[in-house]
Structure 1
Amino acid sequence: MSGIIKRRKTSDYAQIHNGALQQLEDIRSIGLISHLMSLPETWEIKKMQLYKKFGRGPITNAIAELEAKKYWVTIQYRDGKKTLYYYNVSDVAFTDSEVLNMIEEVNQGGFKITDISESFTHLLSIGENQQLKTDDNLSVDSSIVGNEQLMVNTSLSTVENRHLLNKYKKTNSNKKNNDKETLVINKELPPDEFKICLLNSCNEFYTEFAPTRWSKKQWNTLIEAFVTETISEGRYINVPADKIQGYAYQSLKNIAYKFDLKNGRIDFESIAKKRNVPFFNWLEVDTDDEMPY
């Protein structure tokens, strides 16, 4: 007679939640989480060690299911020029609040998060927004809160933005436009999704253009107006999806230049000398002088 034999154990055993063992469908996922739960909590997870022991294919497939069902979290971040990874695994599915704590831990270390498991990409923009508030030490009134909340609700994180654009690149991978492969024209990218991508791309350049020019509230208003105008005037149709970030950067550069021009922050006389162009200061012309034309 066949059956399940359970033995009483007092040492050298691992406790694993039944939920994980019963909800996971791939035997490789069950095997991986069982192996990891048998290790001490201080153990540092390294994929290369797992690949070496069990093979790259089985581990890759196992992690994919664990991530999809929230038993595994991967956080990719930058330390200078190095790309590093932070892994966490549990036999009980991670909650949003637990993952937000992980994001905060990485941010507090002064690192830039560049990617996170797809099940938790929606938390990345929240974590970045909280970090931005902490770094700037802003005193926020109710109007600013409302405006910033709008930006959080309508803009994707860098990771989400990349996933969205990649979706359209893959969908159109076999199409050609002007003899250039994989060029995605935004007739295929709905205005609402283009708006989200453009908002996010603009916000990536906040630290480059906003300081010394606009407050956070002014920046949000400026970007919202720019993105809305791009959509309403139909300019977005001519911007390929994979060029949105470049379009955002060049547009912000032009807006910043006009701002500096209007506020007297550009020295035209020095620019003219560098370019060997005759310079005449019209603002200081005496009305009795003969005009130079």
Structure 2
Amino acid sequence: MNGIIKRRKTSDYAQIHNGALQQLEDIRSIGLIAHLMSLPDTWVISKMQLYSKFGRGPITNAIKELEAKKYWVTIQYRDGKKTLYYYNVSDVAFDDSHVLNMIEEINQRKFKITAITESFTHLLGVSIAENQQPKSKEKEECTSCKDSCVADFEQCKINCSNSNVENTQLLKEIELITNKEKQNKDKRNIVNLQGIDKFLNANKFKIALISACNEFYTEFAPSRWSKQSWLTLIETFVNEKIEDCTYDRVPANKIRGYAYASIKNMAHKVDMKNGNIEFSSSGELPYYDWLNN
């Protein structure tokens, strides 16, 4: 006989509201929200990590329905010249009061909100809603993937950064670069393989370093940085390492140790500044042998 078999669970299980599972119509949306609800509430949502694990198409379509039915909220904001994204998901649909709290959290940090999930644009005020330029999902996802994967804060796992899905995504990035160069009459028609190689190395390093940093969130962030402060801190840190070409000097199998040593030093500085530990007159930071760990 066929039927639904339910087993009693006392550990390693997730509770998901029946409303989300029964109201969502796309199996990809159901699968995505089930996956996200199985993660700890300290997990930082990352589109890049989701793309790497499940593929861009399924995730894009799943998020589309989740946003339409108010289970997913995307807030786009500016920090100086940087465009950042703030994602929230729940198995109970968000209402205006929930989203107003998210908006207030960003406003308190003096960031300028530039866009929000369509269902909640009315909360930004008439002027912002009217001036908000519609843009295709394809463009948004491309920008998020290529230029803002750090801001996205995709909490990637190192073991998925080398997956076939990610390799396929990197090949798509090469194709985008190639097509752009071919269409530009003022540039060469032959792809600069050295430039692409550098881009791939930097992109792989970026994903792995973000992944490693977020792995230590629960160890270092509580009592030192809020969730949003952590996102900004790691974004700035990773961007600096990309700019100074650190990826040429740190072996792939040592990125985790390098991330741990760097965050440990940042945490030490914060603790000294806040008076949680005695200030060292020598100014020396704690030593961590990341090359051998």
Same fold (TM over 0.5): no
- Higher RCO, 1 or 2 (CA under 8 Å, sep at least 6)? 2
TM-score, normalised on structure 2? 0.45
Larger Rg: 1
Q: TM-score, normalised by structure 1?
A: 0.45
